[in-house]
Each structure stands twice: as structure tokens, then as C-alpha cells.
């Protein structure tokens, strides 16, 4: 056998040691990852460090001109800066859109900062597009003229003539994609002609985008405010819907949904009227409009909960659920074919009140022509409403009967009531248990409008006599069981100046006081004129009450006095 070379083994050990002393080499895959990481770090550093050193102010005029061409109004801005993070875009400082001189000189839009984010995919098509335009705390002036024109009308119509692709379209096409326009913390001021209204919208968040080439979608959430009062809680106003393209504003298709919620009635009255109307409760108002700006179908619903007066808390506050349908014409300045019902049509509850009519001019509520009717309102419900209106109605007073009738409202000349109609409370009953179980009222209670004869004028072939004018309402004689053998009678008259009541017949003091307690508005001042030199009754009375609207009521006593006995001689 061949002997093994004794030097062979050491040579193997040397080779192994040589391999273990050599540094491990990096694979190509690992080197590629490190290079990518280095490029990313370098790119991030450049994105952070380079923008302050890149001046884009030379494009300021070009950007302002481009936006001006899109809006159809002159646009000014003080400075343009480039932002690369989180997405490439521009920041425009002191952004101002000029007003049409026909609507005033104050800018229509003013914003300290506007951020415009670039669409990177549009750069490949050699066209600059913005994916988002964000306004921070802008101030917007909405001007409405006496002729019914809005200052934003020309901007909307100008934008409608510009071809645009939907906002969410992924790839660039022949038409530029409409940006997603948003505003946060905005303030919307309302101006009537050149006078700024105290009512405005604050803390407004707004969004506008183009889901379809022929349709814009808008969303608004804001808090109503009034500058000439210190009202703070007015609820939240939300509006959402779509606007279509058209040749004129009145032809613009609309589909809008609005809601005014979480509005305390005290704050809402101060917002709308400029004063506290003295009512409390919560309000929820919703409305929908479908059609065009000039002619659309409108549906609204008003819910009032826990409604009461501010100066006391009744045992049972009032809840109101009113639904109205109608047609809005003349750019929402006129409402035709109004139909309102409480509760809403289709409700399981019995109908209470129905209203129909028209409102030719929203800016002049007195131009309305309305009809209000009730098919059978329980007298007990009327008494509950009276307890909500006055804290003086005792809780143990009860009433029965059903109220039916209709009232109409139409513009009237000064000094006359604009209301006409008739109300009938059938089988009326009013019981004050402190005066016994017998009802104070017996029979029906009727209130009818009266007319005064027209002034006499000479009649000719071409002149017709003037129609009668509304004079007021007459309370037909009402039978009252006031303790006499025969019932007493109450009648009255209401007109534009005030009301008068005449109470005659036989009565006792206890039953008169019971009547005054059950109906405190009628009984104001009655106790002061009751005779104190007579027995408790019954005795004959002849009393007249007079109350000018807004003033206290006074009673006068013209009752026959008992003969004074002559002294014996």
C-alpha cells in the first residue's frame, strides 16, 4: 500500500484558516436594497430642504390669471410657495377674488391661505391639474339684490361653460379634472344690496366636487350667527345636494336637502327676530327641494319639542309636528300651492290643523294669502295649550267640546284685521270644581268675522260699488250658568285695536269668580268691580270689559243698583 504523505493534513488546516480569515462579501440583492434606501433618504431630505430655496413667485401672475379665467373674476394673491410634502402643491397667501362692481366693492372671497395640491398623473399629459384646493378660514360675501340677483350667479354660470372631467377620474383625459374644493372655518356673510345683514354663517365647513360632467355636488355645515345680539347657541345648519349645468341660474337643476337641528327656540327666535320671543324648547327643521332654481317642489317638516313660555314650566309642554308641501318659484322668492298639516299627512294621530295658501313674496310675509282650518279640535287640547301659554290656568279646570271652522288671512288696509272666517265650539263645557260640578258654559260658542259697509259712492255705468271690508270678529251670545235662574249672556267683539266683552244677566259672586279663575284672560280685573254691598247672589249684572292690544283690561259696572231704603219718619 502507498504511504500517506505526512505533510498533506497540515496543508488542509491552513486552507481552512485562510477561508475563515477572509471578510464576507455583500450579495447583489442586499446592495440594491441599500441603494434604494439611500435614494429614499436623499429624496426625503431634498423634499424637506429644497422648497425654501425654490422660488415660484415668477409663476404668481400666471397662477392668478389662470384662476381668474376659471372664475370670471379678477384674482389677486401676495405670495406663492412650493410644498413637496405630504403631496406636491402650492400655498397661495392673501388670496382675494374681486366682486362684480354691480354688487359692491368688497371682495367676494378673501382667504389668508389657500393650499392647491397637484395631480402628479397630470404632469405626464403636459397639463397642470390640482386634485384639491383647500381654503383655510375664508370670508365669503353672498350678495342678494332687491331685483332678486345673487353675486355668485356669474361665477356659477361661467364655471358651467368650462368643460371638466369628474373629480374622481383616475386618468387624465381631454378635459381637465375638476378639483375637490373645500373650506374649513369659513364665514359666510349675507348682504342685502350693499347693506350687510346681521345674520351670517360661522364655523362653516364646505366641500364642492364634480361627480358627473354635468353635475356638481356640494356639502355645507355651519352655525348660524347674528352680529347685533349676543346669542351663542343657535344649533347647526347642514345642506347637501347637487347642482346641474344650465344656460341661466333659474334653469339650474337642483336636488337639495337641508336640516337645522339642535336649535333652542330662544336662540332661534333671537337669530331670526333680533330679540327673545320668550319661548323655550328644541327645534328641528328639515327641507328638501327638487326641480330647478326657478321652479321646484319643496317639502319641509318642523318639529318643536317641549315648547313652553320662558317664565314658567307647565306640567305638560307642547309638542308640534308640522309638515308642509308646496312649489317654490321665482328663485325661491315665492311659494305657491302650500299645503301644511299638523300632524303630518299619513300619521296615525288625529288631524289637528290644516293650512293652505300662497306666499307671493317671501320678503313681504304680509303678502300671504292663507286659509287655516280644523276638522274637530278637542276643547281639552285647547285648554292644555292655554296652560302652556299662561301659568294662571288651574290644573283642575276641565273642558269638553270640539272646535271646527276655518280662518283666512289676506292683505288688508291699515286699521283692519287681515283675518276672516268662523270658529264654532260645539257642545262646549267648562267646569271649575271649586264652584260645583255644573259647567260654567252651556251650548255652543261661535266666533264669526264681521264686515263694515263700504263707503257710499255714486254709482255709474262704469263704476261698481266697493266690496265690504273686514272689520273684526264677533263673539256670538254665549249662555253662561252663573248661579241665576236664567243663564247669563256673554258677547264680544275683536278688531285691530283690541277686544271688548259684555256680560249681562243673573249671577252669583262665587260663579263669577269661578269663571274668572277658569279663564284668567277674560277675568282680568273682574273681581275689582264685583259689588261688595250685596249678598252673594244671585243678582243682576251688566259688566263691560275693554282691552286694547298690549294693555291691561278694564271692567266697568253699569248694573242696576238696588233702591236705597228711605228713612222712616
Based on its alpha-carbon atoms, the radius of gyration of the chain, rounded to whole angstroms, reads 40
pLDDT for position 567: 57
Instruction: Please check whether residues 363 and 392 belong to one and the same domain.
Output: no
Residue in 117, 118, 108 with CA at minimum distance from that of residue 76: 108
Euclidean distance between CA atoms 462 and 450, whole angstroms: 28
Whole-model pTM: value is 0.81
At residue 7 the predicted structure's pLDDT band, cuts being 50, 70 and 90, is very low
pLDDT score for 303: 97
Indicate whether 221 and 280 sit together in one domain: no
Report pLDDT for 433. 94
Neighbours of 378 (CB within 10 A): 15
Q: Give whole-number Cα distances, 438 to 104, 505, 514, 535, in Å.
A: 70, 18, 11, 21
Looking at the structure, do residues 168 and 207 belong to the same domain, yes or no?
yes
Taking residues 74-88, report their average pLDDT. 83
Domain membership of residue 360 (yes or no) is yes
Tell whether the model's pLDDT for residue 9 goes beyond 90: no
Q: What is the pLDDT of residues 249-259, one digit of tens each?
A: 889 999 999 99
Phi (first) and psi of residue 348, to 5 degrees: -75, -15
**148 and 95 together in one domain:** yes
What pLDDT, on a 0 to 100 scale, did the predictor assign at position 163?
A: 85
pLDDT of 34 reads 64
Grid cell listed for 165: 372631467
Distances (CA, A) of 117 to 66, 83, 120, 162, 219: 15, 9, 9, 21, 20
Same-domain check for residues 543 and 396: yes
What would the pLDDT profile of 180-234 be if each residue is shown by its tens digit? Answer: 999 999 999 999 888 889 999 999 999 999 999 989 999 999 999 999 998 889 9
Shared domain for 305 and 337, answered yes or no, is yes
Residue 34 belongs to a domain: no
CA separation for the pair 398, 60 (Å, rounded): 78
Q: What is the 3-state secondary structure (H, E, C) of 115-157?
A: EEEECHHHHHHCCCCEEEEEEECCEEEEEECCCCCECCHHHHH
Q: Are residues 92 and 204 in the same domain?
A: yes
* 409-to-81, 417, 449, 453, 497 alpha-carbon distances in Å: 62, 9, 12, 20, 17
Which stretch of 117-121, 228-232, 282-286, 517-521 has the lowest confidence by average pLDDT?
117-121
pLDDT at position 161, please?
82
Report whether pLDDT(51) > 60.
no
Instruction: Indicate whether 374 pLDDT > 70.
Output: yes
Last residue of a domain, one of 184, 199, 228: 228
Cα–Cα distance, 93 to 237 (Å, whole number): 29
* Same-domain pairing of 386 and 354: no
Domain that holds residue 138: 46-228
Query: Minimum mean pLDDT among 200-209, 406-415, 420-429: which range?
Result: 406-415
Cis peptide before 47 (omega within 30 of 0): no
Query: How does DSSP classify residue 2?
Result: P
Query: Which of the residue ranges 11-25, 69-83, 411-425 would you say has the lowest mean pLDDT?
Result: 11-25
- Give me the pLDDT at residue 308, please: 94
- Give the CA count within 13 Å in the CB-facing half-sphere of 88: 13
Antiparallel, parallel or unpaired: β 488-494 and 469-480: antiparallel
Greater model confidence, 62 or 493: 493
Report how far residue 359's alpha carbon sits from residue 292's, in angstroms, rounded to the nearest whole number.
19
The number of distinct structural domains making up the chain is 3
pLDDT at 122 over 90: no
- How would residue 307 be classed by pLDDT, with cut points 50, 70 and 90? very high
Does residue 298 or residue 39 have the better pLDDT?
298
Which among 367, 399, 426 is the end of a domain?
Answer: 367
> Does residue 422 sit in the same domain as residue 297?
no
State the pLDDT at residue 39. 62
pLDDT of 8 reads 45
Per-residue pLDDT band for 430 (boundaries 50, 70, 90) equals very high
**Comparison of pLDDT for 19 and 509, the residue scoring more:** 509
Among 236, 231, 311, 313, which residue's Cα sits nearest to residue 267? Answer: 231
- Give the pLDDT score at 456: 52
- Across the range 133-151, mean pLDDT stands at 91
Q: What is the DSSP string of 514-540?
A: HHHHHSHHHHTTTGGGS-SSS-SS-EE
Listed residues 168, 196, 228: the one ending a domain? 228
Structure confidence at residue 99 (pLDDT): 92
The predicted structure's pLDDT at residue 3 = 47
pLDDT band at 531 (very low <50, low <70, confident <90, very high): confident
Q: Cα–chain-centroid distance for residue 472?
A: 33
Q: In whole numbers, what is the pLDDT of the chain averaged over residues? A: 85
Domain assignment present for 144? yes
- Residue 2: pLDDT band by 50, 70, 90 thresholds? very low
Question: 388 is written with which cell numbers?
Answer: 302652556
Q: Are 444 and 519 in a shared domain?
A: yes
Position 188 in a domain: yes
Is pLDDT above 50 for 4? no
Greater confidence (52 vs 312) lies with 312
pLDDT digit string (tens) for 431-479?
A: 999 988 999 998 999 999 987 554 554 554 444 454 444 479 999 999 9
Residue 11 has what pLDDT?
47
Amino acid at each position: 500500500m502507498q504511504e500517506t504523505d505526512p505533510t498533506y493534513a497540515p496543508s488542509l488546516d491552513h486552507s481552512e484558516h485562510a477561508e475563515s480569515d477572509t471578510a464576507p462579501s455583500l450579495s447583489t440583492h442586499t446592495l440594491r436594497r441599500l441603494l434604494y434606501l439611500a435614494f429614499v433618504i436623499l429624496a426625503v431630505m431634498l423634499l424637506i430642504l429644497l422648497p425654501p430655496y425654490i422660488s415660484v413667485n415668477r409663476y404668481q401672475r400666471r397662477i392668478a390669471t389662470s384662476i381668474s379665467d376659471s372664475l370670471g373674476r379678477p384674482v389677486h394673491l401676495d405670495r406663492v410657495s412650493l410644498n413637496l410634502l405630504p403631496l406636491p402643491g402650492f400655498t397661495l397667501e392673501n388670496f382675494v377674488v374681486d366682486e362684480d362692481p354691480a354688487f359692491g366693492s368688497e371682495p367676494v372671497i378673501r382667504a389668508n391661505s389657500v393650499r392647491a395640491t397637484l395631480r402628479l398623473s397630470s404632469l405626464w399629459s403636459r397639463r397642470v391639474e390640482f386634485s384639491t384646493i383647500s381654503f383655510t378660514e375664508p370670508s365669503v360675501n353672498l350678495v342678494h339684490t332687491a331685483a332678486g340677483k345673487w353675486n355668485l350667479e356669474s361665477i356659477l354660470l361661467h364655471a358651467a361653460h368650462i368643460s371638466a372631467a369628474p373629480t374622481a377620474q383616475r386618468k387624465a383625459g381631454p378635459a381637465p379634472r375638476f378639483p375637490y374644493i373645500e373650506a374649513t372655518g369659513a364665514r359666510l356673510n349675507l348682504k342685502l344690496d350693499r347693506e350687510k345683514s346681521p345674520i351670517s354663517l360661522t364655523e362653516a365647513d364646505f366641500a364642492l366636487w364634480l361627480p358627473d360632467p354635468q353635475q356638481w355636488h356640494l356639502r355645507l355645515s355651519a352655525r348660524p350667527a347674528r352680529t347685533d345680539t349676543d346669542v351663542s347657541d343657535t344649533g347647526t345648519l347642514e345642506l347637501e345636494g347637487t347642482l346641474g349645468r344650465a344656460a341661466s341660474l333659474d334653469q339650474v337643476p337642483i336636488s337639495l336637502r337641508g336640516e337645522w337641528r339642535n336649535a333652542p327656540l330662544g336662540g332661534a327666535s333671537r337669530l331670526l327676530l333680533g330679540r327673545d320671543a320668550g319661548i323655550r324648547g328644541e327645534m328641528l327643521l328639515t327641507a328638501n327641494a327638487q326641480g330647478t332654481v326657478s321652479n321646484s317642489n319643496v317639502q319641509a317638516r318642523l318639529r318643536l319639542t317641549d315648547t313652553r313660555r320662558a317664565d314658567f314650566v307647565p306640567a305638560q309642554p307642547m309638542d308640534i309636528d308640522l309638515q308642509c308641501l308646496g312649489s317654490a318659484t321665482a328663485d325661491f322668492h315665492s311659494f305657491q300651492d302650500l299645503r301644511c298639516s299638523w300632524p303630518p299627512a299619513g300619521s296615525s294621530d288625529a288631524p289637528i290643523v290644516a293650512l293652505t295658501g300662497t306666499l307671493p313674496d317671501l320678503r313681504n310675509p304680509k303678502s300671504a294669502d292663507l286659509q287655516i282650518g280644523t276638522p274637530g279640535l278637542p276643547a281639552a287640547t285647547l285648554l292644555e295649550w292655554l296652560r302652556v301659554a299662561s301659568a294662571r290656568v288651574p290644573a283642575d279646570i276641565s273642558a269638553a267640546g270640539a272646535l271646527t271652522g276655518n280662518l283666512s288671512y289676506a292683505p288688508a288696509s291699515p286699521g283692519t284685521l287681515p283675518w276672516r272666517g268662523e270658529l264654532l265650539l260645539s257642545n262646549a263645557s267648562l267646569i271649575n270644581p271649586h264652584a260645583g260640578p255644573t259647567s260654567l258654559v252651556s251650548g255652543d260658542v261661535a266666533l264669526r268675522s264681521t264686515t263694515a259697509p263700504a263707503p257710499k259712492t255714486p254709482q255709474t255705468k262704469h263704476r261698481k260699488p266697493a266690496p265690504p271690508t273686514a272689520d273684526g270678529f264677533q263673539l256670538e251670545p254665549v249662555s253662561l250658568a252663573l248661579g241665576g235662574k236664567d243663564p247669563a249672556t256673554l258677547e264680544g267683539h275683536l278688531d285691530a285695536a283690541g277686544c271688548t266683552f259684555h256680560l249681562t244677566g243673573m249671577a252669583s259672586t262665587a260663579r263669577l269668580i269661578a269663571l274668572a279663575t277658569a279663564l284668567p284672560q277674560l277675568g282680568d280685573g273682574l273681581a275689582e268691580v264685583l259689588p261688595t254691598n250685596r249678598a252673594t247672589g244671585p243678582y243682576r249684572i251688566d259688566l263691560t270689559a275693554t282691552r286694547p292690544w298690549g294693555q291691561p283690561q278694564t271692567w266697568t259696572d253699569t248694573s242696576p243698583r238696588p233702591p236705597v231704603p228711605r228713612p222712616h219718619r
